[in-house]
Chain A
Amino acid sequence: MTIDIHPLPARGSVRAAPNALERPSGVKGVFADWGSDQRSFKTASWGKTMMWIFLVSDTFIFSCFLISYMTVRMSTTVEWPHPSEIFALEFNGRKIPLILIAIMTFDLITSSGTMAMAVNFGYAKNRRMAAFLMVVTAFFGATFVGMQAFEWTKLIHEGVRPWGNPFGAAQFGSCFFMITGFHGFHVSVGVLFLLFIARNVWRGDYDFPEKRGFFTGRKGRYEIIEIMGLYWHFVDLVWVFIFALFYLW
C-alpha cells in the first residue's frame, strides 16, 4: 500500500519536533493511532477479524466445559451413564441407540451447508437467494433447538438433575446441562442473528445507501453474511466436538 506515511522522526527527536507526525493529539490521537494503517491482517476486514477473535474466546469457554467434563468423568469411581442408551428412542417398539443425537447432528450439518451457500450467493450479489438460504439456515437451527428442548424434557422426566440421576455418576447431569445448554444458547442467538441479517439482506440494506439503518454495516458489501456464517459454522464446529466427546465417548 502506498498511502503516504510520514517518515518517523529519529528516536528522541519527538520533543524537538512535536508536529513531525502531523497527527492529532490527546484522546483523538489515541483513536487516530489505533485506527491507522498499520494492520496485521491485510486481506481480512476488521469485522471478520473481530468475529474470529470472538470465536477464539468462545473456543476457550467451550474447551473449559469439555475439559471439566473430562476431569469429572475421569475422576469418578461410579460408572458413567451410557449416552448410547439414555439418548435412544423407540420406533415401532425397537430401540435405536443415540438416534435423536444423530438426527440433530445431520440437522446442524444441513444448516451449515445452506449457510455456506448463502455466503456464496451474497458475494454473487444474489441477495434474494442469500436471504432465503439464511432463513432456511435459521429454520434448521430452530429445529435443532426444538429437538434439544425435547431431549431436555425427556431427561428431566427420567429424573436427570444437575446433582444426580438414576443411571450412574452424579456428575453426568451437570455436564450435560451445562454443555448442551450453553451450545443451545449459542444456536438460539445464532437463529435470531440470522433472521435479523436475512431481513436486512432481503430489503437490500447493503445495496442502497439511503436504507442504511441500525446495525446495517457498509453499503454494497455482503461480507456481513460471511461474518454471520463464521459464527454459525463455529456453532456447528462445537457440536462436532460435543457429539464426539460427550455422546459417543
Chain B
Amino acid sequence: MIEGALDNGGKHMTATTEHARAHVSGHAASAARPAAQAHGQQHPIRVYLIVWVALFVLSTASYLVDYFDLHGLLRWFLIILFMWLKAGFIVAIFMHMAWERLALVFAILTPPGALAIFLGIMAVEGDYTKSDRQANFAPAAVETQSRAAAAETPMAQETAGKE
C-alpha cells in the first residue's frame, strides 16, 4: 500500500503526507486500487502479439541458419544478429524496459557491460592456451604449424628441431 501511494508521487506532485497516511492506514484498498491500476505496466495487447510473432520469426530464422548449414562469417553474423534482436525485444517489451525510467534502465543494463571486458580477457586467454597446447601437446598440430612458421621465427625452428 505504501508503495502504491509513493509510486504515484512522481505523477501526482500534490500528494501530501496525510494522503499517503490514508493509504498506509488500511481501509484504503478501494482508494489504492485505481492508483495501482494507473501506475501498472498495462499496454495494448497488440504490442505483445507483434513481439510474440517477431520472436517466432526470428527463432525460425536462426534455426534455418543451421538447417541450411550456412558457414563462415555469414553464419556468425546472422546468429548474433538474431540473438540480440530477440534479447532486445524480450527485455524492451516483455520485461517493460522500454517504459521504465532511465534511472532503472541504466542501473540494470550497465553493470553487465563489465562482462564485455571479462569476455575479452578470456578470449585472449583461450587463444593463448590453444597456441600453447598446439605447441606442446598436439604433435600433429605442431608439425603443420612449425612447418608454416619455421621460416619466420627462430623459436619455431627450435621446437621443430626437438621433435
Decide yes or no whether B141 CB sits under 8 A from chain A: yes
B56→A229 contact, CB < 8 A: no
Task: Tell which of B14, B52, B118 touches A2, judged by Cβ atoms closer than 8 Å.
Answer: B14
Residues of B within 8 A of A247 (CB): 66
Decide yes or no whether B33 CB sits under 8 A from chain A: yes
A97→B66 contact, CB < 8 A: yes
Q: How large, as a class, is the contact surface on chain A?
A: 35 or more
B112→A244 contact, CB < 8 A: no
B15→A2 contact, CB < 8 A: yes
Q: In residues 92-131 of chain A, which contact B (Cβ within 8 Å)?
A: 97-98, 102, 105-106, 109, 112-113, 115-117, 119-120, 123-125
* In the complex with contacts A63-B115, A120-B45, A46-B3 CB distance below 8 A: yes
A84→B123 contact, CB < 8 A: no
A40→B66 contact, CB < 8 A: no
- What is the distance, in angstroms, from A153's C-beta to the closest C-beta of chain B? 23
Task: Tell which of B6, B29, B115, B123 touches A220, judged by Cβ atoms closer than 8 Å.
Answer: B29
Of A8-16, A24-32, A68-76, the stretch lying at the interface with chain B is A68-76
Residues of B within 8 A of A199 (CB): none
Q: How large, as a class, is the contact surface on chain B?
A: 35 or more
Residues of B within 8 A of A77 (CB): 130, 133-134, 137-138, 141
B40→A123 contact, CB < 8 A: yes
Measured in the bound complex, the distance between the Cα atoms of B4 and A47 in whole Å is 12
B6→A240 contact, CB < 8 A: no
Of B93-101, B146-154, B155-163, the stretch lying at the interface with chain A is B93-101
Residues of B within 8 A of A123 (CB): 37, 40-42
Q: In residues 85-109 of chain B, which contact A (Cβ within 8 Å)?
A: 86-87, 90-91, 93-96, 100-101, 103-104, 107-108
* In the complex with contacts A105-B63, A220-B33, A248-B65, A124-B42 CB distance below 8 A: yes
Q: Provide the main secondary structure of the chain B interface.
A: helix
Decide yes or no whether A218 CB sits under 8 A from chain B: yes
B87→A237 contact, CB < 8 A: yes
Decide yes or no whether A139 CB sits under 8 A from chain B: no
B86→A240 contact, CB < 8 A: yes
* In the complex with contacts A42-B103, A106-B56, A67-B4 CB distance below 8 A: no
Of A52-60, A143-151, A154-162, A180-188, the stretch lying at the interface with chain B is A52-60
B interface residues with partner A (beta carbon < 8 Å): 1, 3-4, 6-7, 9-10, 13-17, 20, 26, 29-30, 32-33, 36-37, 39-43, 45, 48-49, 51-52, 55-56, 59, 62-63, 65-67, 69, 76, 79-80, 82-83, 86-87, 90-91, 93-96, 100-101, 103-104, 107-108, 111-112, 115, 118-119, 122-123, 125-127, 129-130, 133-134, 137-138, 141
Could you give 17 example pairs across A and B, Cβ below 8 Å? A40-B103, A56-B111, A63-B112, A70-B123, A70-B126, A71-B123, A97-B69, A102-B59, A113-B48, A113-B52, A116-B94, A120-B42, A220-B4, A220-B36, A222-B40, A234-B95, A241-B83
A interface residues with partner B (beta carbon < 8 Å): 1-4, 37, 39-47, 49, 52-53, 55-56, 59-60, 63, 67-68, 70-77, 84, 97-98, 102, 105-106, 109, 112-113, 115-117, 119-120, 123-125, 209, 218-223, 226, 229-230, 233-234, 236-237, 240-241, 243-245, 247-249
